[in-house]
Amino acid sequence: MNWLKIVFNWPTGIILILAIVMSVYLFFYLYKPTVKHYTYKTTPQGELKIRIYLPKNHSKDDQRPAILFFFGGGWIGGNIEQFRKQAEYLAKRGMVTALVGYRIDSKHHTTPDKAVEDGLDAIQWISNHADTLGINTEQIIASGGSAGGHIAACLALCNTKESNSGPKVHPSLLILFNPVLDLTNASAELEFSSRELELIQAIGPDMAKALSPNQHANQHTPSTLMIFGENDPLLQQANDFIYTAKKFGTETQLLLAPNNGHSFFNKEPWRSSSLRAMDLYLVEKGYLSGNPLITKAGVENAPLIRQ
């Protein structure tokens, strides 16, 4: 081991350790976003909160892109922590990011229509506060997973609520993780739980159709990135969405994770892989610039296959 002592002497070792510590500091602290908490809505079931991540050196005079994340949980459970890593990452990349709380069955004893209503109010709140948050209202993205992806898609496609606080806000892009896109064909075969099916039945067929993005694709459907496990039964709904959206000229991208099912995306290495894919998509669309913080080599064991 004498060669190691020669190559890795104490001065070299100390410099290397300091360099690693400084790199960690720069990444995790120097660029650490500022976190703010707001109440965006008061409902009969209680207040609803939104957590905002503001990039380093943020100013209210900025015109930054923003993204809202809606957690999944079948409109029954879940919490805003599901997308915390994604929100922190994109804030480090310069975006204003938001984790949105909304009403769920287990806590508020409400149905999916109320969850969508809350999503619509959340994006309206973001738009109304764009001047203080430093947001470009032409670049507000909706994102979410599963039931949260359903809410995000509904913000673009489901006309179920008139806004009392200004012109209705539509997301400029959709980034969806294994979203529910059609309530009219929900079934146990598509792995909807018995409680999820009860909630859909409770809102009735007319509302179920109104809250089905696949039923409402049109010429205003925004460009959409969807990320699915290749074994997810909901993949058929995604293919139906792509087929319909393309008839109206909407650009869609579908990425598949081999040998994965539903809700794979928040487990490593797939979380990093999907985050990198989001980053590249946002660069492609002009919302970000530069290189992703996650390298290609770092996720080569979790490939997402473009369809």
Q: Among 5, 21, 87, 79, which residue's Cα sits nearest to residue 48?
A: 79
Residue 7 has pLDDT above 60, yes or no: no
Burial class (CB in 10 A: 0-12, 13-18, 19+), 153: buried
Preceding amide of 269 cis, omega within 30 = yes
pLDDT of residue 258: 96
Confidence category of residue 72, pLDDT binned at 50, 70, 90 = very high
Establish if 12 belongs to a structural domain. no
Establish if 124 belongs to a structural domain. yes
Domain limits at 153? 35-306
Q: Among 232, 133, 257, which residue's Cα sits nearest to residue 180?
A: 232
Confidence category of residue 167, pLDDT binned at 50, 70, 90 = low
The total number of structural domains that make up the chain = 1
* CA-CA-CA-CA torsion sign (29, 31, 33, 34): positive
Q: What is the CA radius of gyration of the chain?
A: 21
What is the percentage of the chain residues whose pLDDT exceeds 90? 83
The per-residue b/e assignment along 218-227, b for 16 or more CB within 10 angstroms, e otherwise, is eeebbbbbbb
Mean per-residue pLDDT for 64-75? Answer: 97
Establish if 7 belongs to a structural domain. no
Q: What is the C-alpha to C-alpha distance for residues 123 and 217, in angstroms, rounded to an integer?
A: 20
Q: Which residue's structure tokens are 């890593």? A: 85
- Kindly report the CATH number assigned to the domain that includes residue 300: 3.40.50.1820
Establish if 244 belongs to a structural domain. yes
Candidate from 7-16, 99-108, 163-172, 214-223 with smallest mean pLDDT: 7-16
Residue type, 112: P
What tokens appear for 119 in the block? 């999503």
Which residues, including other chains, have CB under 8 Å from residue 95's CB and lie 6 or more apart? 55, 64, 65, 66, 67, 282, 287, 288
Residue 98 has pLDDT above 90, yes or no: yes
Establish if 270 belongs to a structural domain. yes
Establish if 249 belongs to a structural domain. yes
Q: For residue 190, which phi and psi values (nearest 5 degrees)?
A: -90, 10
pLDDT of residue 24: 46
Residue 163 has pLDDT above 60, yes or no: no
pLDDT digits (tens, 9 = 90+) for 215-269: 999 999 999 999 999 999 999 999 999 999 999 999 999 999 999 999 899 999 9
Q: Among 223, 219, 228, 239, which residue's Cα sits nearest to residue 264?
A: 228
Answer yes or no: are the C-beta atoms of 65 and 75 closer than 8 Å: no
Establish if 25 belongs to a structural domain. no
Establish if 22 belongs to a structural domain. no
